[in-house]
Amino acid sequence: MRKLCLLAALIAPVVLAQGKVKVDAHNFLKLPPRTGSLSLDQVEVADFATLLIPAGVTELRIGELRMGREARLGIAPSEQGFRLEVARGEIGTGSHITASGSAGSMSRPATAGRDLQLRLMDVQVSEMTVDVRGGIGAPGHPGLDGADGDAAGCLWGRAERGWDGQAGGNGATGGAGGQVRLEVPESFPVEQVRVRLEGGAGGAAGEGGAGGHGGAGKGCLVYKADGAKGGRAGQPGLPGAAGSAGSIKVVRIQ
C-alpha cells in the first residue's frame, strides 16, 4: 500500500496538468493537496477503484466522468461544503460518492458528514450511493484501577481494604449527517440513487476500572491478622448518543 500511495503521489500532478485522471481497476489514487476549485476534462475510475479528493478542494467540475462497477469517489472530511458538477458521463452499478465524517478520538470529536451539492447533467446512472453519514463518536475513557490495600503487619495488625476502581467515561456524541442538494434533469432516475444521511453512532462507553486487591493477611507470634477485601470495580460509563440525521433536497433542472 505504501508503494501504491507513493506512485499515486508521483503520477497525480502529471495527470492533473493534462486535465485527465484515470484510476485502473482495483487501484487507489489520491489527488495532490490543493484548495478551492478544480476542473478536469476527463475522469475515469475503473471497476473497484478509488479516487480520493483532498479536503482543501471545495468545488470539482468534471467534463466527462466514467465510473465502473463498485467504483468510489471519496471526498475527504472537512467543515467546508463541497460542490461536484458533472457535465456528462456514466456511473456504474454499485458505485459510491462518499463525503462522510471522520470518527472521533480521545483528542478530537467526530466530524459531521460533509455538505454536498451534486449537479449531474447528462449522466447515465445504473445504481449508486451517496454517503454523507456522520463520524462515529469518540469512546469514553476507561476508569482508573483502584489501588491495592496495604498488607497486614505484626506491629499494626489489620490489612487495608483495596480501593474501588473509578467509573468509566461516557462515549461522545456521533457526528451529524450532511446536507445533500441533488441537482438533476427531469429525466434523471432519482430512484437509482441511495443517499445515506444517518448521524454517526455514539461512542462506546468507557470501562470501569478494576478494584484494587485487598491487603494480604499475616501470621505473627502473638496473633494472626486476616487479609482484607478487594475494592469494587468501577461502573462503566454510558454509550454516546447518535448524531442527528442530515437531509436531502432534489432540484430538477432544465
Sheet-wide strand order for 28-30: 28-30, 50-53, 72-75, 95-98, 128-131, 193-196
Segment 81-129, tens digit of pLDDT: 999 999 999 999 999 999 999 999 989 999 999 999 999 999 999 899 9
Q: For the chain, which residues make up each domain, given as ranges?
A: 2-138+173-205+240-253
- In this predicted structure, the answer to whether residue 9 has a pLDDT above a threshold of 50 is no
Segment 24-63, tens digit of pLDDT: 999 999 998 889 999 999 999 999 999 999 999 999 999 9
Measured CA to CA, the distance from residue 121 to residue 66 in angstroms comes to 13
- In this predicted structure, the answer to whether residue 70 has a pLDDT above a threshold of 60 is yes
pLDDT at 12: 46
Cβ pair 86, 150 in contact under 8 A: no
Segment 170-225, tens digit of pLDDT: 999 999 999 999 999 999 999 999 999 999 999 999 999 999 898 787 767 666 76
Assign 153 to helix, strand or coil: coil
- In this predicted structure, the answer to whether residue 3 has a pLDDT above a threshold of 60 is no
Closest C-alpha among 6, 90, 73 to residue 38: 73
Cβ pair 165, 146 in contact under 8 A: yes
Measured CA to CA, the distance from residue 55 to residue 57 in angstroms comes to 6
pTM as predicted: 0.82
Sorted by sequence, the CB contacts under 8 Å of residue 169 that are 6+ apart come out as 140, 141, 142, 143, 205, 206, 237
Beta-bridge mates of residue 224: 219
Residues 23, 25, 31: CA angle, nearest 5 degrees: 20
Cβ pair 163, 149 in contact under 8 A: yes
pLDDT at 157: 65
Q: Please name the amino acid found at residue 37.
A: S
- In this predicted structure, the answer to whether residue 241 has a pLDDT above a threshold of 60 is yes
